[in-house]
Amino acid sequence: MTNQPADPSVTVADRERHASSPARELALDCVTAGIEAAHPERVVADALSLDDNVLTVTAVDGTSTTRDLATYDRVLVVGAGNAAGHFAAAVEGLLGDRIDDGAVVTDDPVETERIAVLPGDHPTPSEAGVESARAVREVAADAGKSDLVLGLITGGGSALLAAPASEIDLDDLRETTESLLASGATISEINAVRKHLSAVKGGRLARAAAPADVLGLAVSDVTGDDPAVIASGPLSPDPTTYADALGVLDRYGIDAPAAVTDRLERGAAGELAETPNPGDPAFDGVDFRVVASARTALNAARDVAAARGYEPLVLSSRVRGEAREAAKTHPAVAEECRATGEPVEPPAVLLSAGEVTVTLGENPGKGGPNQEFALSAAIELGSGGGAAGASEGVAVASVDTDGIDGATDAAGALVDDRLVGDGADGADGGGGAERPLDRETAADALDAHDAYPVLDGAGALLRTGPTGTNVNDLRAVVVAEHDAPSGERGARSEGPGASSEDTK
């Protein structure tokens, strides 16, 4: 091996206080197990194997492919994304000196020997990312017909692999990206624009690598695991057009820089070559496999729940839409479980994944989609579902698996039915202290997209730091039995408002 393997374990700041009841502890354990299962070190160990010189890759859909590395002149590695550095280190640990050269760009660097791990920024592209993306493209373009190019693609690659098209400068790209991220557009819509402003996205990295044999390996952060959407599809055919990109700007009322609209309009008029689409010869030598996804995390979380004697139920791996609205469904299902035993009898754990979004208005506050999800869920749980005890003993953990929810230092939040109260009802803040989060205050913070400060004040934010992976959002809703309400706190609890490490 050429480097020390990364530690995929997740450390949550002030974990003991967060895990102050069985329901809260299980919710926390489910999401951390999911994150750990999706770490590239675990993924490479599970999905890739090497027998002499034969590399075997098994994808999440159960299909597999092999490559005899001895038949190639060189093995080159390219890639991008939040987890690309860890991915590169794990692949380097498996293949060792069979790798001849490589470069990946990431915002979470690790030490490697044969693959250059280059800096970039997320979610807004930077000059460092531009230079790194160009270096990645140079490695791909240097590949010959007798070479194998391994493409390591993970979530976050759209921002990190930032090589603007010739007419676009970095400021244009940054302004457009920020507007798109604040608009509420889906990741597919955002990436349709990004691909038509880039020199590497939308299949253009595959075109640079042709005619080499290209094997793309992806840790997916998009619902449905569409290769054309993951990291804006640098190795995949692009089914979208310049006209589609213009349509996104129009649909969300985005006033993009003149250079951006001019390029898209000229492309739509046929004055610029489209991104390579399905059937383009650039993809004749490309094979793309998704080796980890939200399902990887969900399966691990499900195993933890079952091992604790709770009935696990995966609601969906494709939850999307406005975070505050998507959140309302989860407490409703939990309340149905308590009231009727449907769709599953408590004790149970409801699991979901996907990508929720936030449409920001003017002068938004601080937070992220998972923080808004958790705060909205806490408000719903605090209402009791219109029936006594309907939400009792319910805990909700919602995290972004990369450890960074929005532009904050929190991965998400852990809440329960006792976090939001009416101020004078003596509701417990979630761990023994008389610290209810007032319902009106919580609702105002949600309306202002300012979830971070109120959740931080209530001690509900989960902080993990960068996790080394990214399979997008992961949620666990624990529905305890009636005789184990969330108010039964362990002796070790300090309460969510107590002083703790998570204020560092």
Confidence of residue 125 (pLDDT cuts 50, 70, 90): confident
Length of the chain, in residues:
504
Q: Are 254 and 24 in contact (CB under 8 A)?
A: no
If pLDDT is split at 50, 70 and 90, which confidence band does 423 have? low
The predicted pLDDT at position 206 comes to 97
Contact 378, 412 (CB under 8 A): no
Tell me the backbone φ, ψ of residue 221, rounded to 5 degrees. Answer: -120, 20
Could you give the CA distance from residue 248 to residue 232 in angstroms, rounded to a whole number?
15
Half-sphere exposure of 2 (CA within 13 A, CB side): 19
- Give the predicted TM-score (pTM) of the model: 0.87
As a whole number, the mean pLDDT across the chain is 90
Q: What is the pLDDT of residue 496?
A: 37
As a whole number of angstroms, the longest Cα–Cα distance in the chain is: 74
Q: How many CB atoms lie within 10 A of CB 73?
A: 12
What percent of the chain has a predicted confidence (pLDDT) above 70?
A: 90
For residue 5, give the amino acid letter.
P
Task: Confirm if 245 and 187 have CB atoms less than 8 A apart.
Answer: no
Q: What is the mean pLDDT of residues 438-443?
A: 93
443/8: higher pLDDT: 443
Instruction: Pull the structure tokens for residue 170.
Output: 């970095």
The CA distance from 52 to 142, in Å, is 26
Whether the pLDDT of residue 37 is over 50: the answer is: yes
Confidence grade of residue 384 (pLDDT, cut at 50, 70, 90): low
pLDDT for position 487: 43
Evaluate if residue 495 carries a pLDDT over 60: no
User: How does strand 54-58 pair with strand 64-68?
Assistant: antiparallel
Residue-wise pLDDT for 230-245, tens only, equals: 999 999 999 999 999 9
Q: Which domains are present in the chain?
A: 15-19+310-503 (3.40.1480.10), 40-163+198-240+275-292 (3.40.50.10180)
